[in-house]
Amino acid sequence: MTQTRKTSFQDVRDAVIRRIQDQEWPQGSLLPTELELAEEFGCARATVNRALRELAERGIIDRKRKSGTRVCVAPVKQAKFEIAVTRHTVEETNAQYRYSLVDRKQLEAPEWLRARLGLGGVQPALHLRSMHYADNQPFQYEDRWIMLDTVPDAETENFEIIAPGEWLVSRVPFSDAEIVFSACAADETLGRFLGTPTGTPLFQVERTTWFQGQPVTYVRLTFQPGYSMSTRY
């Protein structure tokens, strides 16, 4: 059964991709207009538009009114990482997850934290340090500050059972965030909790989060030695 289905936006998108790969439309060259493509593919202009819009979002083509659509010369690769709560990251590897609170203190936000959040003045904050284990092996050390002016409920939560990350996502629907990936050396504390010698190179993620313009939390997640994050695109 060779079905003669209606041309979908995916057909158009894939055909365009193929032509770019085959250098039929080389880098920097101008594509036909939406109307011309719609005629060629026998579909509505809206269908072509959706296909091309998707490719533009992926950084493959560049669209401008009046000038038209061009193939990007130096396509900027976009790598998308999915950041889940630590429990899910661990359980996805079929390992048993365990969480343990190390320390909980209510303090004033230190100078460096206020600077990072763009705040002046005195700010009450909760400082939490905790460990995440996979199959009882150290997986991740978490050092977190929660801003109590933004999330006052945190003051009465002891965080002995539920990890602060999970507690927060259940309270704060979603938020703006800045995320930083880097390498650091294990200091004495990290070495002790992650079971590795001082000086071991470790992968770390820092995340700063705002909700409706208010600072929610800053967290530094340091992973077990050898950990890596990967993705495809």
Residues in contact with its own copies by the rule CB under 8 A: 20-21, 23, 26-27, 59-60, 71, 73-85, 88, 166, 169-170, 173-174, 176-185, 199-204, 211-212, 226-233
Residue type, 150: T
Residue 32 phi/psi, 5° resolution? -60, 165
Give which of 215, 210, 205 is closest to 176, Cα–Cα: 210
Residue 67: CB minimum distance to DNA, A: 4
Q: Could you say which of DNA, its own copies, none residue 65 binds, taking C-beta under 5 to 8 angstroms by partner kind?
A: DNA
Contact, 52 vs 71, CB < 8 A? Answer: no
How many angstroms separate the Cα of 103 from the Cα of each of 136, 141, 145? 19, 12, 12
CB of 51 vs DNA, minimal distance in Å: 8
**Residue 190 beta carbon to its own copies: minimum distance, rounded to whole angstroms:** 11
- Torsion angle (degrees, nearest 10) of CA 231, 170, 149, 211: 50
Q: Please select the residue that binds DNA; options are 9, 25, 167, 211, rule is CB under 7 A.
A: 9
Here the tokens at position 140 are 């991740």
19 binds DNA (CB under 7 A): no
Q: Kindly list the residues in this chain that would bind DNA in the complex (CB under 7 A).
A: 5-11, 31, 33-35, 42-47, 49-50, 52-53, 56, 63-69
